[in-house]
Amino acid sequence: MEQRAQEELLILFRDAMKVGGAAIEMRLRRFASLIRPSDEALAQAVTPLVSGTRSLRRESPDIAHPVDADTKLPLVRIEHPSATRVPPLLSPALQAEVDRIVHEHRAADRLAAAGLMPVRSVLMSGPPGVGKTMTAGWLAQRLDLPLYTLDLASVMSSFLGKTGANVRSVLNHAQERPCVLLLDEFDSIAKRRDDDTDVGELKRLVTVILQTIDDWSPTSLLVAATNHGELLDPAVWRRFDVTLPFEMPALEQRAALLHSREVAAPLAEAVAAVTEGQPLSALSRAVDVARKQALLEERGFEEALITWAASSAPQSTRAARTTSKGRRDLDIYLHHCRGLSAREIAELVGTSHMTVVRVLKRLKGEVDAGA
C-alpha cells in the first residue's frame, strides 16, 4: 500500500478508536491479523492502536448498567474481584484449561502483536453443584475483572420482544469494557431452534447469540454454563472457543473439599470413599449442617457428618456399599462416637476387635496404616 494511503488509513483507525467500542477494536485486531502476511509494516502500525486498550478502559469512569425498561430492575448482577473468593476444586484436565485461558488473557497484547486473540468464549456443561459458577467467578478473580451475571429473573419478560431486547442489551454492555460475563442456565435462552414449544422470539434470540459469540470482543470473556447441554442448539457448541465438560467429582476432589472445610484428613478420606455421585456443593452443605447440629444439638461433629455420609448414597447402590470397607469403617467410627466399646462395635459390625481398634486409630489420625 502506498505511503499516503497508509497514513490516511491509520488516521481513520485512530479516529475510530477515539469513538471506542468493542466491535471496532475487534475489527482492527482482525484487520492486523489478515494484513500481516502481505503487509507486515501496516500490521505493525495498526497493532499499537489496540494493544493496551484493556488497561485504558478499566480506568475509565463507570457507566450505567443495563436495566429492564419497564421494571427498572438491573439485568446483571455485578461482583468485583475479592481476595476472599475460594478457588474451585477441578480435575487436572479442567484446571489446565482454566490456567490456559487465564494465561492467554494475561498475554493478550503479545498475542495481538502476532495477529492472534485470546480465548473469548467458554461453554461449561455438567450436572448441578460441580463448580461451574464458581469457576466463572474464579476466572474473573484471576483476571482481575468484574463478574457480570445475567439475571434471568429480570431478563425474561412476558412481553413479546422484551426478552430478546434485554439479552442483547446485556451482551452489548459486557463488551463496552473488560469483564467476565456469565450466562448461567444458558439453555433457557439458547435452546434448540427445532423445539416447537418455544415462541419465535426465543428462536430469533438464538441466532443473535450465535452472531454475538462470533464477534465477541477479546477484551472480555464470555462464559456460558448449562446443566442441560442436550437442550442447547447444536450450532451453539461450535461457536465457543473452549468447551469445559464438568463431571461429578472424583474421590480425590471430594476428599480435598472436605479437608479444605477443616475435616481431619483421615475422616475426610473415609467420607469421600462412600459419597461417590455427590456433587461438591452437597458435601460442603453437609459440613455446614453437621457443624450446626454439633452446636445446637450437643452432638459430635464427626457423628453428624458420618450419619449424613452413611445415608447419602443413592438407594440403588446403598446395599452394595453396606459391605464395603469404606462403609464398614464409617459404621465403626459412628458407633464409637455413640459411646460403644471396641468389643461391642466388633460384634455389631461383624469384624474382629483388633480391626476395630486399627480403624479407630486410623480415622482419628493416630496411625497411617489401613485396616
**Which CATH number goes with the domain that contains 128?**
3.40.50.300
How many domains is the chain partitioned into structurally?
3
For residue 38 the three cell numbers come to: 502481505
Phi/psi for 224 (5° steps) reads: -115, 140
Q: Are residues 224 and 320 in the same domain?
A: no
What pLDDT does 370 receive?
46
- Considering the domain architecture, whether residues 141 and 189 belong to the same structural domain is answered as yes
For position 220, what pLDDT does the model report? 92
> In terms of Cα–Cα distance, which of 184, 121, 122, 192 is closest to 156?
184
180 and 285 in a single domain? The answer is no
Distance CA 202, CA 225 (A): 18
pTM for the model: 0.74
Per-residue pLDDT tens over the stretch 99-121 = 999 999 999 888 887 878 899 99
Q: Tell me how far apart the alpha carbons of residues 96 and 94 are, in angstroms, rounded to a whole number.
A: 5
Residue 224, Ramachandran bin (φ over 0: left; ψ between -120 and 50: alpha; else beta): beta
User: Could you give the strand order of the β-sheet that contains 221-226, starting from the edge strand earlier in sequence?
Assistant: 76-79, 147-150, 180-183, 221-226, 121-125, 242-245
**pLDDT tens, 222-281?**
999 999 988 888 888 999 999 999 999 999 999 999 999 999 998 999 899 888 889 999
Q: Let me know whether 120 and 239 are in one domain.
A: yes
Residues 147 and 11 in one domain: no
371 in a domain, yes or no? no
Residue 57 is predicted with a pLDDT of 43
pLDDT on residue 290: 93
- pLDDT tens digits along 22-41: 556 666 766 776 777 777 77
% residues pLDDT > 70 (the chain): 79
Domain-located, residue 57? no
Placement of cell 489420625 in the chain: 365
Give the Cα separation of 79 and 88 in Å (integer).
Answer: 17
- Per the domain annotation, does 65 fall within a domain? no
Whether residues 104 and 180 fall in one domain:
yes
Query: Are 356 and 224 part of one and the same domain?
Result: no
Range of the domain at 176: 76-245
Is residue 202 pLDDT above 80, yes or no?
Answer: no
The three three-digit cell numbers of residue 98, written as one number: 482454566
- Within 10 angstroms of residue 147's Cβ, the number of other Cβ atoms is 26
Give residue 62's pLDDT.
55
**Are 106 and 224 within one domain?**
yes
- 162 and 91 together in one domain: yes
Report whether 175 contacts 182 (CB < 8 A): no
Closest CA relative to residue 191, chosen from 181, 204, 179: 204
Q: Is residue 30 part of a domain?
A: yes
Q: How do residues 51-108 score in pLDDT, each as one tens digit? A: 544 443 443 445 678 888 778 888 889 998 877 788 999 999 999 999 999 999 999 8
323 domain-assigned: yes
pLDDT for 31 equals 73
Residue 107 shares a structural domain with residue 92: yes
Residues 84, 169 within the same domain: yes
Same domain, 28 and 111: no
Contact 335, 329 (CB under 8 A): no
Examine residue 59 and state whether it is found in any structural domain, yes or no: no
How far is residue 295's CA from residue 121's CA, in Å, rounded to a whole number?
Answer: 45
| Residues 182/147, Cβ–Cβ less than 8 Å | yes
